[in-house]
Copies of this chain bind each other. A is one copy, B any other.
């Protein structure tokens, strides 16, 4: 290990004070341009890099942000994180990524770690936040933490006082229903997702509230599942046992839709002729399976942008701020050839 060079050495070599070097590095205060030039050269020559740890300690303000997702191997979260990291880094932030497993023990261990690490903010996606049965106690816990460290929630949780960034899907839902109706799909089933998951219930509500307007009948029985391809497989197997297949299935997300699609393939059902399928999220892969998945698309870049902008201005923001990111309907082969 070669010795790391510090601001002290640079100052010494340049025959100036540490304070001056600091001013030059951070562009704060006037400095003689001769000295400035000299110092900058030295910094270049010795490849000096300010120690962010020391900086963070002294200013008690780090540029590190905690990012908590249920599991990063879920493509939806991977995509959000991907976009967020790129923008965040551009803005000088560094992201610590943690998998909560939607589990209380994991979560509190993560929270402790992040607090200890003095992160600038914590972005909190899904998991227990999304669980409607999470006790009030949980919300209080979060609010307590958010007194110390700003929390950005990726879910719309009524009653939680912290900044919330989530997706607006109502208008896309209407477009989807209109689209289905226009193709004559009037007998529609909902499939996938757990009960008591906020975002899931919200999607179901939005569909239920608007279906009538388009003359669509939503089947009362909802087959639930987890949010994976396998979940889609299994749920579809159940559905296939029912007396009469619906004309179309609105799946809780694209992974489930893919599971339903492959199960349909396996059973020699033609999509969309025998049955139409839709999803949510617009994952990368959804364009490339055959047929492509019709979906309510997340705007990942906009979402990421909103997160990073929020982090930048976090100290000046009202802790009740809610930001809704618009979505789009994308039509592909699972509904229309």
Q: List residues of chain A with CB under 8 Å of any chain B CB.
A: 1-2, 4, 49-54, 56-57, 60, 62, 64, 71-73, 75, 78-79, 81-82, 85-86, 89, 94-99, 101, 109-110, 112-118, 147-148, 228-230, 232-233, 255, 258-259, 262-263, 265-266, 284-285, 287-291
Contact assessment for B115 and A289 in the assembled complex, using a CB-CB cutoff below 8 Å: no
- Contact between A98 and B117, CB atoms less than 8 A apart: no
Show 11 residue pairs from A and B whose CB-CB distance is below 8 angstroms, ordered by the A residue.
A49-B112, A54-B57, A64-B96, A72-B72, A73-B75, A73-B81, A86-B101, A95-B96, A95-B98, A258-B289, A262-B290
In the complex, the answer to whether B97 meets A95 with C-beta atoms within 8 Å is yes
A82 near B73 (CB under 8 angstroms)?
yes
Q: A229-B285, A284-B73 are in contact. Are A49 and B115 (CB under 8 A)?
A: yes
Q: Tell me the smallest distance from the CB of A93 to a CB of chain B, in Å.
A: 9
Checking B57, B81, B232 against A97 with a beta-carbon cut-off of 8 angstroms, the contacting residue is: B81
B99 with A82: CB separation less than 8 A: yes
Copies in the complex: 2
Closest to A286 in B: B229
Q: How far is the CA of A46 from the CA of B208 in the complex (A)?
A: 48
Given known A262-B288, A288-B259, contact A89–B113 (CB-CB < 8 A): yes
A interface: dominant SS = helix
- A115→B4 CA distance, assembly (Å): 10
Q: Which residues of B contact A99 (CB under 8 A)?
A: 82, 85-86
Q: Which residues of chain B are within 8 angstroms of A255 by Cβ–Cβ distance?
A: 285
Most central of A62, A117, A266, A287 by chain B CB within 10 Å: A117
Interchain CA distance A206-B102 in the complex, whole Å: 41
Contact of A72 among B1, B85, B290 (CB under 8 A): B85
